[in-house]
Amino acid sequence: MVADRVECHSGHTYADRPTALHWEGERLAIAEVEGRWRVPGGSRFRVRVEDGRVFDLFYSEIDDEWRVHLS
């Protein structure tokens, strides 16, 4: 699913670390980034939000778009 919006900290590159995501009309603060991988065309993250749910995020550099999946 394409996310409404992912908020992120951007250091020397965009999408350095996600800080919150918007899912089904709700803003969910990210409590922990459990994993991060560079993949062809972008970055993947596994994050845990404050209520304990885990999401997989993919940022496509080509499309400048975030995709979010509830794990």
Q: pLDDT (tens digit, 9 = 90+) per residue, 22-55? A: 998 899 999 999 999 999 999 999 999 999 999 9
Task: Determine the average pLDDT of the residues in 54-66.
Answer: 92
Q: How many helices (H) and strands (E) does the chain have?
A: 0, 6
Report the distance separating Cα 68 and Cα 3, nearest Å. 6
Note the pLDDT of residue 11: 74
Q: What is the pTM of this model?
A: 0.86
pLDDT reported for residue 31 = 98
Range of the domain at 47: 5-70
Token pair in block for residue 1: 């699913």
Q: What is the mean pLDDT of the chain?
A: 90
Burial of 68 (0-12, 13-18, 19+ CB in 10 A): buried
Which pLDDT score is estimated for 9? 82
Q: How many domains does the chain have?
A: 1
